[in-house]
Amino acid sequence: YITFANESRFDFAQADPFYIVAWTKFTAKTAGGWVVSKMATTGTGAGWIMGHSSLQNGDIYMRVQNVTASRCEQVSANTYTDDGTKWHLMIGWWDGTNNCNSGIGLYVDGSSIPLTNSSTGDGLAGEILNNAGVSLSGNGSAGIVGGYVDEVAIYRGKITADDAKRIYGVFNGKRMSES
């Protein structure tokens, strides 16, 4: 894993919209982990995570939570069923509205995916700010991703479905030509 020191550009408050873009290739179906995160501990602190479930390949999630572990989380089931040989573009987003039903989500390969709400309520009960660094593929106290993470970008602002399609369209040819 890699952790970058606390950087104010990634200090998103509860009302700040942001999104995370990362190419992923999960080679271990049961090796879940944090693809990109800014959370100090193993999931009980304030912050955000875009991750891969340990249940099966293609189970991914986006989580935003406060220090008391009040969380907004959307998870997918079996988003893609390949055997870990293909790259996929994951985009996790939080729109800053503090709505656990419609204000958080994921795009995979430029498309919306079916999600299940596994939040602890309708919205967060507190702030998500923390002093943690941004981590790629785990943070030392959480599982390291079983596979590869590449070309990560974190943006302040909202993303639309059209934006996700456009990002995937621009980079898909390059990524798919790699082995």
Residue 141: what pLDDT?
59
Residue 142: what pLDDT?
61
- Burial call 48-72: b when 16+ CB within 10 Å, e when fewer: bbbbbbeeebbbbbbbbbbbeebbb
Task: State the pTM of this model.
Answer: 0.90
What is the rounded distance in angstroms from the CA atom of residue 160 to the CA atom of residue 55? 29
Choose the most confident range, by mean pLDDT, from 32-36, 57-61, 75-79, 123-127.
123-127
User: Per DSSP, what are the bridge partners of residue 37?
Assistant: 49, 135
Residue 147: what pLDDT?
81
pLDDT classification of 62: cutoffs 50, 70, 90: very high
If phi over 0 gives left and psi between -120 and 50 gives alpha, with beta otherwise, what is residue 47? left
* pLDDT tens profile 96-133: 999 999 999 999 999 998 898 989 999 998 899 988 88
Mean pLDDT of 133-156: 81
With pLDDT > 70 as the criterion, what percentage of the chain qualifies? 81
Residue 164: what pLDDT?
97
CA distances 151 to 72, 81, 112, 113, 124, Å, are 26, 22, 20, 21, 30
Residue 110: what pLDDT?
94
Neighbours of 132 (CB within 10 A): 21
Token representation of residue 30? 């049961």
Token representation of residue 159? 């993303």
Neighbours of 93 (CB within 10 A): 26
Burial class (CB in 10 A: 0-12, 13-18, 19+), 177: exposed
